[in-house]
Structure 1
Amino acid sequence: MIYDAIIIGDGPAGISAALYTVRANIKTLVLGLGDSVLRKASKIENYYGFSEPVSGEWIISEGEKQLKRLGGEILKEEVIGIEKEDNFHVKTVNNTYTARTVLIATGQKQANIKIRNLKKFEGRGISYCTTCDGFFYRGKKVGVLGFKDFALHEANELLNFTKNVTVFTNGEKTEFTETSMLDKFEINEKPIAAFEGGEVLEKIVFEDGSEFPLDGMFIAYGTASSVNFALKMGILTREQSIIVNERQETNIPGLFAAGDCTGVFKQIAVAVGQGAIAGRSMIEYVRSQRES
Structure 2
Amino acid sequence: MRQIIIIGSGPAGYTAAIYAARAQLNPLLIASSVEAGGELMNTTDVENFPGFPEGIMGPDLMMKMQEQAEKFGTEVVLDDVESLDLTGPIKSVTLGNGETHEALSVIFATGSAYRKLGLDDEERLSGRGVSWCATCDGFFFKGKTIAMIGGGDSAMEEATFLTRFADKVYVVYRGDTLRASKIMQERAFANDKIEFIYNSTVVGITGENAVDGLTLKNSVSGAESHLEVGGVFIAIGNDPRTHLVHKQLDLTPDGTIAVAGRTSKTSQTGVFAAGDVIDPTYRQAITAAASGTVAALDAEHYLSTLPQALLSQAVLSQAESAAPSLVTATLSN
TM bucket (normalised to shorter chain) is 0.5 to 0.7
Q: Which has the larger radius of gyration?
A: 2
Cα displacement (A) at 1:234: 3.7
Cα displacement string for residues 96-151 of structure 1 (whole angstroms, at most 9, x for unaligned residues):
1100010110011256597xxxxxxxxxxxxxxxxxxxxxxxxxxxxxxxxxxxxx
Task: State the superposition RMSD in angstroms.
Answer: 2.0
Identical columns (%): 27
Amino acid at match of 1:289: L
For normalisation by structure 1, the TM-score amounts to 0.59
Distance 1:238 1:255 in 2: 20
Which residue in 2 is equivalent to 1:29?
Answer: 28
Q: Name which of 32, 37, 40 aligns with 1:38.
A: 40
2:58 aligned partner: 56
Deviation string 1:272-292 (CA, Å, 9 cap, x unpaired) is 100001110110111111448
Q: TM-score, normalising length from structure 2?
A: 0.52
8 Å contact from structure 2 (residues 249, 257) kept in 1: no
Distance 1:19 1:95 in 2: 24
Q: Distance in 2 between matches of 1:81 and 1:112?
A: 26
Gaps of 5+ in 1: 115-223
Q: How many residues align?
A: 182
Q: CA deviation at 1:35?
A: 5.0
CA 19–78 in structure 1, closer or farther in 2 if over 3 Å, else same: same
**How far is the alpha carbon of 1:239 from its aligned partner?**
1.4
- What amino acid sits opposite 2:3 in the alignment? D
1:104 aligns with 2:119: no
Pair 1:18-2:17 in alignment: yes
For residues 32-51 of structure 1, the C-alpha deviation after alignment (integer angstroms, 9 at most, x for no partner) is 12151111110111111111
Match of 1:90 in 2: 93
The CA deviation string for residues 1-51 of structure 1, in whole angstroms up to 9 with x for no partner, is x10000000111001011111111113100012151111110111111111
Change (3 A) 1:113 1:27: same
Aligned ranges 1:162-241 → 2 under 5 Å? 226-241=241-256
When residues 276 and 72 of structure 1 are mapped into structure 2, their CA distance, relative to the original with a 3 A threshold, is same
2:240 and 2:4 mapped to 1: Cα distance? 19
Classify 1:111/1:92 alpha carbon distance in 2 versus 1 (closer, same or farther; 3 Å): farther
- Equivalent of 2:67, from 56, 65, 68? 65
Tell me how far apart the structure 2 counterparts of residues 102 and 31 of structure 1 sit (CA, whole Å).
Answer: 11
Distance 1:5 1:107, change over 3 A: same
TM-aligned CA distance change 1:35 to 1:62, over 3 Å: closer
Distance 1:113 1:18 in 2: 33
Residues 91 and 15 (structure 1), Cα distance of their counterparts in 2 relative to 1, 3 Å cut: same
Return closer, same or farther for 1:289/1:226 CA change in 2, 3 Å cut-off.
farther
* Bigger shift: residues 229-238 or 75-84: 229-238
Which of 297, 306, 327 lines up with 1:289 in the alignment?
306
SS of structure 2 residue aligned to 1:232: coil
Q: Which amino acid aligns with 2:291?
A: Q
Shift of 1:65: 0.8
Q: 1:225 to 1:92 in 2, by over 3 A?
A: farther
Contact 2:92 2:102 in 1 (8 A): yes
Is 1:230–1:237's contact at 8 Å kept on the other side of the alignment?
no
- One-letter identity of the residue aligned with 1:8: I
Counterpart CA distance in 2 for 1:12 and 1:46 is 14
- Paired letter, 1:72: T
Aligned to 2:326: none
Q: Counterpart in 1 of 2:145?
A: none
